[in-house]
Amino acid sequence: MTEEALDTVAAALHDGEIVSDALGGVIPAPVAAVVYAATLGGFIYAAPSNLLERFNNTLVAVVLGTFLPLLLIAGSAVEPTNLVDHSQWGGVPNTIPVIALAFGKEHGSAWGTRWGSAGQYLVLPSPDSCTVPL
């Protein structure tokens, strides 16, 4: 199985857990994952492209509609003077590898994280494909 296929299976299983929890555990998580994947996959397969576009645009609007109020609430607590008065700019270089790791997987880098049976793993780019439990 390819890495993308494994990531898709892991995401479907995680979504199944969310659906199962939302239904109060009435449906076991693996069954909920299959139902979720079949429902969403069937909708994507059968729906006309203009309906898919409207559905996607609606989901984007919901994400933005929930994120913007969060920014406004959090923004009211920001003290701009803290950027100057309490900052430790000398620590910034140490954060660069973490930032690279956070964005690497999304941009095709060998860096990234994966979910395994024992939890989340950090995948380091090395000839030995080293993984470190998080």
pLDDT at residue number 5: 75
32-36, 113-117, 126-130, range with the lowest pLDDT: 126-130
Q: What is the CA radius of gyration of the chain?
A: 20
Distance CA 43, CA 51 (A): 10
| Residue 28 neighbours by CB under 8 Å, 6+ apart | 20
Q: Residue 115 — φ and ψ, nearest 5°? A: -100, 130
pLDDT at residue number 58: 94
pTM of the prediction? 0.50
5-64 confidence digits (pLDDT tens) = 777 778 888 888 998 899 998 999 889 999 988 998 899 899 999 999 999 999 999 999
